[in-house]
A and B are shown apart, each in its own frame.
Chain A
Amino acid sequence: MSKSRSNKVTAPSFTVPDNCAIYCKDVNFVYNPKTPFQKQALNNVSLTVNKGEFVAVVGHTGSGKTTFVQHLNALIRLQSGRMYVLGRDLGDKKLDLKALRGEVGMVFQYPEYQLFADTVLQDVSFGLKNFGVDKDKRVQLARDAIQLVGLDFDKVKDKSPFDMSGGEKRRVALAGVLAMNPSILVMDEPTAGLDPRGKSEILSLVAQLNRERNVTVVMVSHDMNEVYENADRVIVFADGAVAYDDTPRNLFRFETQIEEMNLEVPAMAQFANVLEANGITLPDNCKTVRQMYDAVTALRGKADV
């Protein structure tokens, strides 16, 4: 605590660039400090995320990625280092938590397990109510969010969320966060446990929010194929530190290093790497099967001529 304050004193004039959504400098975090259970979870983490970016955060269990993302809406308070989210100083003792949490939407793992209200509408409005939005406005925002996640508002609003299917519950939970119109969406494995169709529905929704509403997305994921196809940038955590911070294409060229960290190399990256090793360059946007197929077809076209 005292450390963050001293940091503030040493850098009072620091201003975060306008287009910067998340700024971290030398962030450290220790669980249970000064006890036998002491554990350094974050080790000098420095990174920035620009507004409108889609960033994937990867790393195996215990790498610090979850601790890091929970800093973003101050569920875990900054111990040392500097951290600014949407211009707010997270080291500030008088930080307005509610305002921050309204702007940084956080979707936890298996968010459907946190549903509690009698009706879908009530559950989706819970956050809005907490942030003091008045009733008419609440219904309107909840309607938007429920429709955004692909559910029929009039059909589901009075239903009990517990009577819905697993995939629908996940979407209701997601709507509960989206209703607040967050500028940053932080998600911890949003597709875990879903079947392929459920996965791609959630991912295309997130991609759409990112693209059309310019929502900054920070997504924790274990599925490297999913990361490869969706993220603009990948941040790899290992032992509490940032091991890599690069575009998916560049990152997954380091096949040995990736596999040493017990992560998988996406199928399309493996494929592209073999082609590159044989002197064939592919455009950078070959991330999905379809894109790769088109690119390879184009290569043959060129070779034919």
Chain B
Amino acid sequence: MEIINIDNASYYYKAYNDDGTVGRAVGVENVTLSIEEGSFVALVGHNGCGKSTLAKLLNGLLVPASGKVTVCGMDTSDKNNIFEIRKNVGMVFQNPDNQMVASIVEEDVAFGPENLGVPQPQIVQRVNDALAQVGMSEYAKRSPHRLSGGQKQRIAIAGALAIQPKVLVLDESTAMLDPMGRREVLQVAHQLNRGGMTVILITHFMEEVLDCDSVAVMDGGTVVATGTPMQIFDNGTLLNRVGLRAPRTVELAHLLKNAGWNVTPDCVDARTLGGEVCLNLDQIK
């Protein structure tokens, strides 16, 4: 079932031309995209390609200038829907320090349900559940300030979960993290997805895209390609044009396959690929 529908949506930012007149800059232009409930979708593209603008269209932080964005059957341009839409779309942003509203972890997670007017005993329940889901229960009473980047982002995810959304949007939530932090966040995202959550992962780390159901590639404000991760990785010309590159292992596997080696072209693990290459060399001997 479709949970989000983006129909030919465009959004422009106000921008000043060199001569001082007011013009506009493309945020996104004529984007059409459908997202299935329960899927794990990656949105990739270089910085400034419009992927974060698109994210903000998903929960009505921005409203399209033309076209339409529908979330759970509700039009985001109708102001009466905004509250209901945001209840369904949880969003986590890039900078972990800039989305904390309280100086105690559990207080921060409680912010969403407090806004919704959830009765007190249920808030406690929601906060505890959300923290458990991201594996941060033991940090409930701590200050977020001393935690690692990955832990902070897991708190931010818990903050979104406490609203009990159907969709979780990670808007470059891994961009500022070290590899360990990125792993933590992705693990949580995949685990939530297995529990039925629709996840939209916005990123430019192609390694993170490997385990997604589908990928939408953005460039210049539009979606230029959609497909499975492997379909996208196969298209070297496309990736090159939009300034991305496949994970190194996949790149090497493709090169070898094209040169006639007997290797799995979609190999994502360098050690497996190494083993395959050894077998090839043995056979030649």
Contacts and interface: CB of A to CB of B under 8 A. Distances in A.
Given a CB threshold of 8 Å, the question of whether A touches B is answered with yes
Interface of A: 60-61, 165-167, 192-198, 222-225, 262-264, 266-268, 270-275, 278, 280, 289, 292-293, 296-297, 299-300, 303-304
Interface in B246-285: 247-249, 251-252, 255-256, 259, 261, 270-271, 273-275, 277-278, 280-281, 284-285
Contact of B178 (A60, A165, A267, A275): A60
Given A271-B252, A293-B252, A195 B273 contact: no
A273 B275 CA distance: 10
B47 interface: yes
A280 B256 contact: no
Given A166-B47, A267-B249, A296 B277 contact: yes
A167 B47 contact: yes
Interface string B29-54: 00000000000000001111000000
A222 to B, nearest CB: 4
Contact of A267 (B149, B247, B259, B277): B247
11 contacts: A61-B178, A194-B47, A197-B243, A271-B252, A271-B271, A274-B278, A289-B248, A299-B281, A300-B261, A300-B284, A303-B284
B277 A165 contact: no
B277 A303 contact: no
B74 interface: no
B180 interface: yes
A61 B148 contact: yes
B86 interface: no
Contacts of A297: 259
A195 B204 contact: yes
Contact of B275 (A262, A274, A293, A304): A274
B56 to A, nearest CB: 17
B47 A198 contact: yes
Nearest to B260: A300
A165 to B, nearest CB: 6
B274 A271 contact: yes
Interface of B: 45-48, 148-149, 175-176, 178-180, 204, 206, 243-245, 247-249, 251-252, 255-256, 259, 261, 270-271, 273-275, 277-278, 280-281, 284-285
Nearest to A268: B248
B121 to A, nearest CB: 38
A303 B285 CA distance: 6
B187 to A, nearest CB: 14
Contacts of B285: 303
Given A267-B249, A293-B252, A280 B281 contact: yes
Given A223-B179, A225-B248, A293-B255, 14 more contacts: A61-B149, A165-B47, A166-B47, A166-B48, A195-B47, A196-B206, A270-B270, A271-B270, A271-B273, A299-B281, A300-B261, A300-B281, A303-B281, A304-B284
Contact of A289 (B175, B243, B252, B277): B252
Nearest to A228: B248
Contacts of B278: 274-275, 278, 280
The 7 closest A-B pairs by CB, nearest first: A274-B274, A197-B243, A270-B270, A195-B46, A267-B248, A195-B204, A303-B284
A274 B179 contact: no
Contacts of B270: 267-268, 270-271, 274
B179 A222 contact: yes
A278 B259 CA distance: 22
Among A167, A195, A262, A293, max chain B CB count under 10 A is at A195
A209 to B, nearest CB: 23
A268 B284 CA distance: 23
Contacts of B46: 195-198
A267 to B, nearest CB: 4
B98 to A, nearest CB: 12
A297 B178 CA distance: 34
Given A166-B48, A196-B204, A268-B270, A289 B178 contact: no
Nearest to A293: B255
Nearest to B272: A274
Contacts of A222: 178-179
A297 B271 CA distance: 18
Contacts of B243: 195-197
A167 B284 CA distance: 47
B47 A273 contact: no
A37 B5 CA distance: 53
Nearest to B245: A196
A266 B247 CA distance: 11
B129 to A, nearest CB: 28
Contacts of B206: 196
B71 to A, nearest CB: 27
B178 to A, nearest CB: 4
B271 A270 contact: yes
Contacts of B178: 60-61, 222
